[in-house]
Copies of this chain bind each other. A is one copy, B any other.
Amino acid sequence: MDQIGIGLAGLGTVGAGVYKHLIQNRAIISERVGLELAVRRIAVRSVGLVRSVHAPAEIITSHWEELVDDPAIEIVVELIGGIDAAYQLIMRALDAGKVVVTGNKALLAERGFEIFEKAAEKGIPIFFEAAVAGGIPIIKSIREGFIGNHIESIHAILNGTSNYILSKMTEESLDFPEALRQAQAEGYAEADPTLDVNGWDAAHKAIILASLAYGFWIGTNQIHVAGIETVNGLDVRFADRLGYKIKLLATIRTNRDDLVEAHVHPTLVPKQHVLASVNGVFNALMVRGDLVGDTLFYGRGAGQDPTTSSVISDLAQAAIWYDSGGKAFGFTPHGWYGECLPIEQVSSGYYLRLSVIDAPGVLAQVASILGSHQIGISSVIQPEGHEGDAVPLVLIIHDAPFDRMRTAVQGIQSLDCVKAQPMLLWVLS
């Protein structure tokens, strides 16, 4: 059986999983691919480190350049993370004619345009299933399975840590800091959870999904991102009372005029919506195509084994591509270099929680400001519970453009009867 040489950059959690399972599931992989996937060289930061997998010392190097220069390596797998070194490695590998597999979502989101331009110039594909939603084959499904579809929308839960924290807050009535502490204690959140809880991990994945669906790279300054750090236990409870669960939701969809909207933020999802029942560290994506209609994909969005599953799938496809002589580029991102709809023009329903004085006439003042901006109220609740001398007032707002809603909230905030910063969240409609 022919061998395909693999150069593995990075032997952290995912790199170690890939090395281990290429050996452990070797028989089934060779049979199914028709080729043997042979790891010929592994680049690591510190050669001496004690690791969970034992690769022969002679294939380990601390210089990733050796992967690129080795003629026995046909596929380079970038699993070192970070931006600069990973970018150098991938660009050099493409220049050297190597097929590239990567799980680096931040890198693709920030420099995908340059990387894919280089790949197209060299006629070499890049595979990146592990960059989005762990083991769920969502890249392959959108790029290949739905190739005949105009993608109308993607609504997705893409960050397992945030979803775990929000699930904890919902199920155990915890506030954010306590739920985060528990997630860290149970290994579902990093010591530094910044990128998870501030929404940017999900935003990087959303940018990659949008590039597949719409053929252009949304700039990191074009996607509206908010994290779950500001979500209050109160909001989780009030949302529940109104028939919603709060999820960190990524939305990517085409609008009239073929503009694309992309935003990631805590969102009230109606309880009967299938995404509302996705709990814990799981990821889920609802993809709507003009032919296929609504589809749902669900699975583990992170972890060594699921991510390894995706990297091995990419390695198989890369190996088959290489073995075919690398003639057909295959499944190219299409050529529509589109535009984003500015977030100000995106319409949605909203959840607005105010802290107001406990006196008659307050709702009238709030409703009057909303009315003057042509914004309609769908429902109002005044839950029990004083906060000092203020009480909560919660409104669900009909669809309105985001800029108009923000302006109205500024007006409401300046009312004398409003005692604290209003809490504004999106509602999935």
Chain A interface residues (CB < 8 Å from chain B):
21-22, 25, 28-29, 31-34, 129, 134-137, 140-141, 143-150, 215, 274, 277, 289-300, 303, 305-306, 308-310, 312-313, 316-317, 320-321, 323-336
Contacts and interface: CB of A to CB of B under 8 A. Distances in A.
A21 B291 CA distance: 9
A32 B149 CA distance: 11
Contacts of A333: 32
Given A291-B309, A294-B300, 16 more contacts: A28-B334, A33-B147, A135-B289, A135-B292, A135-B293, A136-B295, A137-B140, A137-B144, A137-B145, A141-B145, A145-B313, A146-B309, A274-B277, A291-B306, A292-B300, A324-B325
Majority secondary structure of chain A interface residues (helix, strand, loop or mixed): mixed
A129 B145 contact: yes
A253 to B, nearest CB: 16
Contacts of A328: 34, 320-321, 323-325
A316 B129 CA distance: 19
A296 B293 contact: no
A385 B122 CA distance: 75
Contacts of A298: 274, 295-298
Contacts of A149: 25, 309
26 contacts: A25-B149, A25-B150, A29-B147, A31-B335, A31-B336, A33-B331, A33-B332, A135-B289, A136-B292, A137-B137, A140-B140, A144-B316, A144-B317, A145-B309, A147-B312, A147-B316, A148-B309, A148-B316, A277-B277, A294-B299, A296-B297, A324-B327, A324-B328, A324-B330, A325-B325, A325-B328
Given A33-B331, A327-B325, A150 B291 contact: no
Contacts of A336: 28, 31
Contact of A309 (B134, B292, B309): B292
A326 B306 CA distance: 31
A68 to B, nearest CB: 24
Given A141-B140, A292-B309, A32 B320 contact: no
A324 B150 CA distance: 26
Nearest to A146: B309
A148 B25 contact: yes
Contact of A329 (B34, B297, B300): B34
A310 to B, nearest CB: 8
A334 B32 contact: yes
Contacts of A297: 295-298
Nearest to A149: B309
Contacts of A28: 148, 150, 334, 336
Contacts of A143: 32
A320 B313 contact: no
A278 B150 CA distance: 25
Given A215-B31, A299-B293, A140 B144 contact: yes
A316 to B, nearest CB: 5
A290 B129 CA distance: 18
Contacts of A145: 129, 137, 140-141, 309-310, 313
A316 B320 CA distance: 16
A297 B333 CA distance: 24
A32 B331 contact: yes
Contacts of A147: 29, 32-33, 312-313, 316
A424 to B, nearest CB: 31
Nearest to A140: B145
A303 to B, nearest CB: 8
A211 to B, nearest CB: 12
10 pairs of A and B residues whose beta carbons are closest in the complex: A137-B145, A148-B312, A31-B334, A135-B292, A295-B299, A324-B328, A296-B298, A291-B309, A324-B324, A292-B309
A149 B312 CA distance: 9
A327 B334 contact: no
B331 A316 contact: yes
